[in-house]
Every structure is written in C-alpha cells, then in structure tokens.
Amino acid sequence: MTLVGALDPPHGVRVVENFSEMEVLLQETEAQGCILDIFDSPSSIPLSSLRRLRRRYPTLALVIASDFSGKEMDLYHLGRLSVDGVIRMEDQASSRDILAVVDNALAASLATLVVRTTAPDLPPIAQDAIRWVIEHAESRPQVSELAAALAMSPRGFLREMKTLDLVSPRTLLLWGRLIRASNLLQRSSETVESVAFHLGYATGGALGKALKRHVGCSPTELLERGGLTWTLEVFRRQGLRHKNG
C-alpha cells in the first residue's frame, strides 16, 4: 500500500521530490503535516534538518515513513525530536495502519496548537490535560482514564482543576471532542455524519446539538465563521473557566 493511496482521501496529499522542495511548499501553503522518508528522499535527511523543521513549524504534524531494515537509528531518539509518528515501511503497513499513524500525528499537532493559542500560561498539568483530551477524543475516554494519564486519582484531579479555577474534567473531555470535530469538519471529504461517527456521537444531529450548545452555531455556521479558529476562540473565552464547568 502506497502512502498516497492510503491517505488520499480523506487527506489531500502533495508529493515533493526532496526536503528543499518541501520547505518551499510549507512556506506557501497551510499544510497540517508532512511525511518524510529520512533515508531515501532521494538522499538521507540529517537530524539537524529535522530539528530545524520542528523549531520553525512547532504545530506541524511530523511523521517519519522509512524502511528501517539494517538501520541503527534509535526511534526513541526520533521521539526526542518531537516526531509525532513513525511508519516502518519494511513492515508493509496496511492502509488502516498508515491512516491511524497520520491521524494520531495530526491530533498531537492539533493539541500543541490549542495549548499554544488558548492556554500558554496555564500550569503544565492543565496543558497536559488539554493535550490528552484532544489526542484521545475519538475513543470517548472517561474521567478516570484522563486522571490516570496524569498520574492522579479522579478526585485529586478534580480538586486540582477547581484550584486552578478551570472547568471540570468531564467538561474538558467534552471540549476535546468539540475541538477535534471542528478540525475534522474542515476536511472537504468529511460529512457531519462521518465526523460524528468518528468521535462517538450517535448521529450527526447529536454532534450538531453539542456544537450549537457549547460553540454557539451549527456545523454549517461553524465553517462559515472560521471552523476551528472560531471554536478555539470560544474555548479560550468561555470553555476553560470553572463557571462553565
């Protein structure tokens, strides 16, 4: 399975020949992510180039797709560079596996964007919670899972959120789904029903009601108002503080 065949649709994919061409494309477009073959593209990409790319585009989803056969590259070291996903091409990954890695990487980069634009001054535990609810929105996690991910008990985490004057963990989980939904709705290939199914809503109507209640507009109106940008503004102004929890 080729990467383009696995990803397009639902993602729009542009293929470039080398790292320099990709950098030019990133300057000219609003790409959400990039996939790099670090060993053969057509020449290997040095780690310094990856570091530069991450510094320049901190909210870009960065995925490595390479054949690691016989290579001594430490995947953990790649992780230290804030790589969001790795596709080991020697494993002959299926279309579903490739799509899952890329979608998870995009969710991670979205979480970074949300924290940087809506909660840059919050304590690390609150930032980590926001990241987690966005990255795991599609699995409809429970408060206990969120608390465990932060190495806290549910009661302890609830007390911490109240101390910080932030919304309840349950409300934060809801916002994770609404933010992911707003982002997915911007894809031309997605319908309200497909986004609702992806995020565990029973129907497109149920997702629409949730958006109307908490974001203030229907899915159609949301896109007219700026999509994700609108939702993040509402989240920053109204969705973080305890009075709405």
Looking at the domain assignment, is residue 112 inside a domain? no
Q: Pick the residue with more confidence: 79 or 178? A: 178
CATH number, domain at 43? 3.40.50.2300
SS3 131: helix
CATH number, domain at 157? 1.10.10.60
Of the spans 12-21, 58-67, 84-93, 174-183, which averages the highest pLDDT? 174-183
- Which amino acid appears at position 140 of this protein? R
Q: How confident is the model at residue 10 (pLDDT cuts 50, 70, 90)?
A: confident
pTM for the model stands at 0.88
Identify the domain containing residue 43 by its residue range: 3-105
Using a pLDDT cut of 70, give the percent of the chain over it. Answer: 93
> ω into residue 42 within 30 of 0, thus cis?
yes
Of the spans 43-52, 56-65, 213-222, which averages the highest pLDDT? 213-222
Q: Tell me the H-state helices in 119-191.
A: 124-135, 143-149, 154-163, 169-185
Rounded Cα gap, residues 214 and 223, in angstroms: 15
Is residue 128 over pLDDT 90? yes
Q: How high is the pLDDT of residue 73?
A: 58
Q: Domain check: are 7 and 68 in the same one?
A: yes
Q: Domain check: are 231 and 129 in the same one?
A: yes
Is residue 51 over pLDDT 70? yes
Looking at the domain assignment, is residue 59 inside a domain? yes
Q: Domain check: are 134 and 93 in the same one?
A: no
Is residue 245 over pLDDT 50? no
Region 68-77: mean pLDDT is: 68
Q: How confident is the model at residue 47 (pLDDT cuts 50, 70, 90)?
A: confident
Is residue 81 over pLDDT 70? no
Q: How high is the pLDDT of residue 74?
A: 62
Is residue 37 over pLDDT 90? no
Is residue 75 over pLDDT 80? no
- Which amino acid appears at position 14 of this protein? R
Total domain count for the chain? 2
Host H or E run for residue 34: strand 33-36
Q: Domain check: are 49 and 94 in the same one?
A: yes
Of the spans 32-36, 65-69, 148-152, which averages the highest pLDDT? 148-152
Q: Pick the residue with more confidence: 233 or 71? A: 233
Mean pLDDT of the chain: 89
Rounded Cα gap, residues 240 and 130, in angstroms: 10
Q: Domain check: are 31 and 146 in the same one?
A: no
Strands 33-36 and 85-88: unpaired
| Sequence-separated (6 or more) residues with CB below 8 Å from residue 89 | 37, 65, 66, 67, 68
Q: Domain check: are 10 and 126 in the same one?
A: no
Residue found under tokens 């989240």: 235
Host H or E run for residue 212: helix 204-214
Angle at the Cα of 154 (from 149 to 158), degrees rounded to 5? 110
Q: At what angle do helices 154-163 and 169-185 cross, to 10 degrees?
A: 80
Name the DSSP letter for residue 197.
H
Rounded Cα gap, residues 238 and 241, in angstroms: 7
Instruction: Give the pLDDT confidence of 221-231 residue by residue, as tens digits.
Output: 999 999 999 99
Instruction: Give the pLDDT confidence of 184-198 residue by residue, as tens digits.
Output: 998 877 899 999 999
